[in-house]
Structure 1
């Protein structure tokens, strides 16, 4: 049930941690913003919304932008928003992307700001992404002394079916044309006070398949009269694993995982149908055609061996997220000036998880990076998409600081070139 609570905010409780070493590198104006960042994030966390239904979130973002006098456009790809902040001097255009949607998960955290929407939860940190982008907008509206334009993209539906592509199709990278783009993901795989970034493939492509095997059912005691769909589907599952083992260059990385298998209705009946579904992940775009082709060849071959038929539905979701080398180096160099912990900047960070930030990076050079957000001492280290996911809110100010320093360095480099 949708929340009807007002948009006004009371003063938040203090952030979960106030470890001094994580605040040293924050400029005073961003340090002062931290309590508001926590309040905004907790407000959004209490009101999670699923893909393309982020009306409350979008209303909150738009209200803040209006309050600060920031020009913006709403209703892009249904609930998306684009804010434009012009500096005091002309220059290139840098995009910042933040996703806004939540997940269909029932929250199990017992905190004052837990989800008030049954069965919906910010279990991946998008409430933090929206907050960091808002904080960046707030800071820039008060400190416009930069040579360029910042376009902040508040995107719906990252968790699926994907809001980046329709926003691009709606023209968010034009008028003014975006020259480069950055984005971040709070990341509970890394401890708070770290940044993960790399040049090139950063997150994997995500594709899905569903196969229905069509056999011939019959009595379990008379198998010669049947075509056992469960047997055929089982052989498909095991044979699919040979693709990565024997058809892919060992120096490439790919995963084919069957996550769902259904067949049969009774212990003494040979099933006439069986179904299996799975996901395909890879970094190298050259595998985009090879993998689905080989998957179908194996399914067709195994079915032919047994006289079965099949129906295959293959869905391409997100391409690989590939960082531009120049922009990745810019983020890395900035992160080293902000992060002052022992682990610091984690190089060559990668994951087989996927992100539709990839569509933006196909259009303009950019960099997507991870901002470590786990704090095991406070129990804030449950994984993403877990019903007890939460993160150390110290990262909110850190995220704003990194974004601001990235744009300052980006514009300064453009002035020198």
Structure 2
């Protein structure tokens, strides 16, 4: 069994306290998707000061820092997300959000600071040969900032032989890491079903065509798609998150709008769900004498980790932390992540780092009481340095 002596690189340990302060500064000033101007200003300023070639405005507010060293021809991309969530923070911390209904509730402030910490060390030591591309991405939360950067020519302008990303994970021991080859996170699609009938008086439903009855039937029937049409060995989720209709107790509404979240861990299952949801909604609607319009918004694809980069990254983590702190076949998550778009274009690996258990780091993401655990910043930065130095070995 591999036993790590010290997972944190001494040079990282020396500068980590400064980057913790950077993290808390970002935390206090959260910015929503494609609004990360202060954050990207800070990232660009620091990278420039450390000697990186800095490129801005990629995917609106994205930043790429490029550092070349030696004669090596290999390239690598390390990605961190920067955006916050529209949530009111309740932590009461001294560095809590100073902006109403904006909060770093998913740890992207920590992801940014970890990569900045690694960036500073790599620029100072330059123990690699090749091209290092540090990708600071906007708008991971529901808005596809990864795709926006790619549409702006990310990989044409900054070629990457492989790409890597990490995300903090509450409920896993602080600094422990987890990997999975293949499908690691689900696709995420949004569906809007609009039912149109004939409104009427609640006391005389026979004069109406009730879309509410159709909506109730559709809501139940949707679950039979997962239960009876999807292979039981394949995970899928259909969630009806919103039903909007009339406003009073004695009027049958003319329209009902249903909003669905649809997730799958397999591209074929994703396609099956799309076909069957539309067919079922229209068929059920017709049986009630109403019509159904289905608007299917394809969102993030399945996140699929590639075998070679994942094995490479997991080996780095084992040598750094010891085998007992690294899980190499972690269960897939039904959450989604737009790094999936990048993994469709380039080989790479998306990994997880434990944020902690219990009172320190255990609060789940997207919760108003969440905070990134600063104790893992130096570990994450050390992982990034080792990934870069090993992939771009001199």
The equivalent residue for 2:204 is 222
Deviations 1:30-70 (A, max 9, x none): 11121012111001001100111100001100110121121
- Other structure's SS at 2:241 match: strand
2:378 counterpart of 1:397: yes
Structure 2, unpaired ranges of 5+: none
Q: CA deviation at 1:231?
A: 0.7
Alignment correspondent of 2:232? 250
1:146 corresponds in structure 2 to: 128
TM-score when normalising by structure 1: 0.90
Match of 2:282 in 1: 300
Tell me the alpha carbon deviations over residues 233-253 of structure 1, each in whole angstroms, 9 at most, x when there is no partner: 010010010111111111111
Q: Which runs of 5+ in 1 are unaligned?
A: 1-20
- What secondary structure is seen at the aligned counterpart in 1 of 2:154? coil
How far 1:149 moved relative to its partner?
A: 1.2
How far apart, in 2, do the equivalents of 1:374 and 1:278 lie? 32
Structure 2: distance between partners of 1:193 and 1:346: 15
Alignment of 1:208-287 (within 5 A): 208-287=190-269
1:365 corresponds to: 347
Q: Distance in 2 between matches of 1:180 and 1:166?
A: 19
Distance 2:20 2:375 in 1: 9
Residue of structure 2 equivalent to 1:167 = 149
Corresponding residue for 2:365?
Answer: 384
What residue number does 1:317 align with?
299
- Tell me the SS of whatever aligns to 1:337: helix
CA distance in 2, matches of 1:144, 1:343: 28
Secondary structure of the corresponding residue to residue 156 of structure 2? coil
Are 2:318 and 2:325, in contact at CA under 8 Å, matched by a contact in 1? no
- Counterpart contact for 1:72–1:84, Cα < 8 Å: yes
Q: Is the 8 A contact 1:339 1:345 kept in 2?
A: no
Q: Which residue of 1 aligns with 2:27?
A: 45
Partner of 1:129: 111
2:31–2:39: 8 Å Cα contact kept in structure 1? Answer: yes
- Residue among 37, 42, 54 paired with 1:55: 37
**Counterpart pick for 1:288 among 262, 266, 270:** 270
Other-structure match for 2:182:
200
- Give the match's secondary structure for 1:183: strand
Kindly provide the CA deviation profile for residues 245-284 of structure 1, in whole angstroms up to 9, marking residues without a partner as x.
1111111111111011122332222222212101000111
Residue 82 (structure 2) aligns with: 100
DSSP-derived class of the 2:380 partner: helix
TM-score, structure 2 normalization: 0.95
Deviates more, 1:362-371 or 1:390-399: 390-399
The range that moved more, 188-197 or 385-394, is: 188-197
Corresponding position: 1:73 with 2:55: yes
Distance 2:78 2:66 in 1: 10
Alignment partners' CA distance in 1, 2:162 and 2:145: 19
State the partner residue of 1:13.
none
- Rounded Cα–Cα distance in structure 2 between residues aligned with 1:266 and 1:117: 36
CA distance in 1, matches of 2:381, 2:188: 29
With 189-198 and 35-44 compared, the bigger mean Cα shift is at: 189-198
1:118-170 alpha-carbon deviations (Å, 9 max, x no partner): 11000000001111111111111011121221101111111131111121121
Q: 1:227, 1:339 → 2: CA distance? A: 64
Q: Secondary structure at the match of 2:295?
A: strand
Q: CA RMSD in A?
A: 1.8
Whether the aligned pair in 2 keeps the contact of 1:89 and 1:146 (CA below 8 Å) is no
Which residue is equivalent to 1:4? none
Match of residue 392 from structure 2:
411
Count of aligned pairs: 392
C-alpha displacement of 1:381 = 1.7
Shift of 1:340: 4.6
Tell which has more relative contact order, 1 or 2 (C-alpha 8 A, sep 6+).
Answer: 2
